[in-house]
Amino acid sequence: MPEPTRKPAAPAPRVRTRPLWVALGFVLCGLGVLGLILPGFPGTVWFILAAGAFSRGDPRWEAWLLSRPVVGELIRDYRAGRGMPLRAKWIACLCIALAVGLSLPRIPVLAGQATWVLLGLAGVWFIVWRVPTRRGPELPASRRSER
């Protein structure tokens, strides 16, 4: 019996790369890494923005970022609207209060001090009232199995 003839495999669809979006994604990733290192400087928001830039520039880089152990989970949680664990909310609010309190004496103008305090209060208000609180395990899904 003759072997059935196979069709040649179709070439993989070509992904359109937009270099400026990819470059912006890497800059935002760099800021995210700084945010992981520097106290008081947020990291997650930069990674979320980087994922958005990569999704417009090249989905392969977006997939790479989403595959990172901690960062990918933060981005997926944000996209799913899961919010922040209560402990993370406390830490974020305390960091804002600490940053405002320590830098306030360095601002020489009273209007600047008032603006800085109002910005800090707006940040705390946003975290407390607008960001949903995630209930349940505090550990990321990838680390829950290690318990």
Q: What would the pLDDT profile of 62-117 be if each residue is shown by its tens digit? A: 999 999 988 898 888 888 888 877 887 888 888 889 889 999 999 999 999 999 99
> Which string of DSSP letters, residue by residue, matches 104-134?
GGG--SHHHHHHHHHHHHHHHHIIIIISPEE
Alpha carbon of 128 to those of 5, 90, 124, 147: distances in Å? 64, 9, 6, 29
- Tell me how many domains the chain contains: 2
The SS3 of residue 78 is helix
Instruction: Verify that 92 and 102 share a domain, yes or no.
Output: yes
pLDDT of residue 60: 93
Mean pLDDT of 15-37: 89
Q: Note whether 56 and 90 are same-domain residues.
A: no
> Tens digit of pLDDT for each residue in 27-74?
999 998 988 887 767 788 889 899 999 999 999 999 999 999 888 988
- Closest C-alpha among 134, 127, 143, 47 to residue 82: 134
pTM: 0.61
Claim to verify: residue 93 and residue 45 sit in the same structural domain? no
